[in-house]
C-alpha cells in the first residue's frame, strides 16, 4: 500500500511541476471581449457577450469580467494589468479589424506580446471562431481571411498536422487518451463559419513564423482551413471550432449539429481547463477583491435569447 501511495504522490508532484502548480494564481480572472450586436439582437443593446463563453471559463475554474468595446485606452490598460487572460469569442463582424471588437482586441494583443518580450509577463489570449480569425489578422497586420468556406453547422474530428507533437493545448502529458481519441476519430469539434484562415495565406503573409498549426479541417467542398493554432513564443491560441457550444448551447430552434456526447464534452472541457491553467500563470491582479467585485460578471443579468438567435443566453452592455 505504501508503494502505491508513493507512486501516486510522485505522479501528482510530476504533474504539478509540468503544469506550474507551484506559485500559480489560484484565483484567475479572465476577460471576455464584447461585440457589436446585429440584426435581431440590436433591440437588447449595442453590444453583447454570449453567456456560453462565460460558463465555459467558469467551468475551468476562473471568474469572468465582461470587457467593453469602444472604451478609452486607459480602460484597457487597467483591465490588462488586472486580468489573467482574455477570450475573443466568435461572431459575425463584417470588418473585424475595424470593429470596436477588433480595435480593443488589438490593444490586448499588442500588450501581451510586448510584456512577454520585455520581461516575460504572461498574459494568455484565446480566440474562438472569429476570435481565431482575428488573431491571425492581428498577427499579419491586415485581414487575411478567405470567404466562401462551407462549414456552417458542421461537426468534425480534427485532422492533425505534423506539428501537433509540439502542441501545448493537447500536450501529451496533460491530454488523456480518451480526449485524444475523441477529437481525432469522432465529430467532436463544432464549426459555424463562412470565413477561414488557410495554410497558404498564413505563409503568404509571413505569420507561419508566428503561429504553429496543429490541426486543419476541410469544409463540405473540400476546402482546407486551419482549425487549431498556437503562437510559437507567446501564450496565444486560436481554434476555428466552438468548444463552448458542446457543453452549453442547446437552442431548440436551431438546426444544430452541435455534439453533446460524453466524448465531445470531454474535448471541450479539456480546452477550458487548459486555458484557465494558462491564466493561472499570470500574476496580474486587481488591487483588492472589493475592486475585482465591481468588474465581475455577477453584476450583469443574462438574458434568454434563444428565440432571437442561435444562442441560449447573452449579456448585453450599454456601449
Torsion from C-alpha of 238, 53, 271, 221, nearest 10 degrees: -50
Sign for the CA dihedral angle at 289, 292, 294, 299 comes to negative
Sheet strands (E) in the chain: 29-33, 35-36, 47-50, 63-67, 86-88, 125-128, 151-156, 159-160, 189-193, 211-218, 224-231, 236-239, 303-304, 313-317
Cell numbers for 112: 501581451
Residues catalogued as catalytic:
129, 242
- 281 with 122: CB under 8 angstroms? yes
H/E stretch holding 74 reads: helix 73-82
Q: Which of 199, 190, 271, 200 is nearest to 237 (CA)?
A: 271
Amino acid at each position: 500500500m505504501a508503494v502505491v501511495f508513493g507512486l501516486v504522490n510522485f505522479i501528482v508532484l510530476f504533474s504539478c511541476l509540468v503544469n506550474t502548480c507551484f506559485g500559480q494564481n489560484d484565483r484567475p480572472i479572465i476577460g471576455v471581449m464584447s461585440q457589436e450586436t446585429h440584426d435581431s439582437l440590436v433591440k437588447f443593446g449595442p453590444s453583447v457577450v454570449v453567456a456560453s463563453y462565460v460558463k465555459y471559463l467558469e467551468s475551468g475554474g476562473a471568474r469572468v469580467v465582461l470587457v467593453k468595446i469602444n472604451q478609452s485606452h486607459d480602460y484597457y490598460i487597467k483591465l490588462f494589468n488586472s486580468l489573467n487572460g482574455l477570450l475573443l469569442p466568435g461572431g459575425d463582424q463584417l470588418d473585424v479589424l475595424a470593429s470596436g471588437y477588433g480595435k480593443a482586441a488589438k490593444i490586448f494583443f499588442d500588450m501581451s506580446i510586448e510584456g512577454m518580450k520585455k520581461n516575460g509577463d504572461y498574459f494568455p489570449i484565446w480566440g474562438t471562431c472569429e476570435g481565431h480569425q482575428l488573431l491571425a489578422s492581428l498577427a499579419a497586420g491586415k485581414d487575411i481571411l478567405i470567404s466562401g468556406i462551407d462549414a456552417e453547422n458542421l461537426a468534425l474530428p480534427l485532422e492533425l498536422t505534423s506539428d501537433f507533437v509540439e502542441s501545448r493545448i493537447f500536450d501529451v502529458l496533460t491530454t488523456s487518451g480518451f480526449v485524444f481519441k475523441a477529437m481525432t476519430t469522432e465529430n467532436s469539434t463544432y464549426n459555424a463559419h463562412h470565413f477561414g484562415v488557410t495554410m497558404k495565406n498564413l505563409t503568404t503573409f509571413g505569420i507561419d513564423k508566428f503561429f504553429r498549426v496543429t490541426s486543419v479541417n476541410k469544409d463540405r467542398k473540400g476546402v482546407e482551413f486551419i482549425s487549431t493554432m498556437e503562437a510559437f513564443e507567446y501564450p496565444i491560441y486560436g481554434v476555428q471550432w466552438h468548444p463552448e457550444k458542446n457543453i452549453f448551447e442547446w437552442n431548440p430552434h436551431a438546426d444544430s449539429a452541435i455534439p453533446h456526447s460524453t466524448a465531445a464534452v470531454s474535448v471541450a472541457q479539456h480546452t477550458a481547463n487548459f486555458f484557465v491553467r494558462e491564466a493561472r500563470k499570470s500574476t496580474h491582479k486587481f488591487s483588492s477583491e472589493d475592486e475585482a467585485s465591481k468588474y465581475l460578471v455577477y453584476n450583469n443579468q443574462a438574458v434568454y435569447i434563444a428565440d432571437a438567435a442561435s444562442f441560449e443566453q447573452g449579456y448585453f452592455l450599454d456601449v
